Amino acid sequence: MGWIIALIVGGIAGWLASIVMGRNASMGIFWNIVVGCVGSLIGNALSGPLFGIRGSVQSFSLTGLLIAFVGAVVLLAIVNLIQRKSVR
């Protein structure tokens, strides 16, 4: 059951991050879920050592959603930078 919640929370975090970063039109539900789940890993890697805060997307919590959202925004920012460099 935890992985289903992780997919749902990851999808919500990825969707919100794609809206903030202006990539919502180019991403489908699959990529929103992937970005949200990978963003959760990145967010936990950043927030744990820096602030001592951990969040899990396997059990729904606002902390877990916020950390996944911030990590997804960071991931999309990195993807945007890589895509800009490859276009030039």
pTM assigned to the model? 0.84
Q: Specify the DSSP element, H or E, that contains 18.
A: helix 2-20
**If you search the block for the tokens 């975090």, which residue do you land on?**
13
18-62: pLDDT as tens digits: 999 988 877 888 998 999 889 888 888 888 777 777 766 566 778
58-79: pLDDT as tens digits: 667 788 888 889 999 999 999 9
Give how far Cα 14 sits from Cα of 22, 40, 47, 51, Å. Answer: 12, 9, 18, 22
Tokens of residue 45, six digits: 């890697």
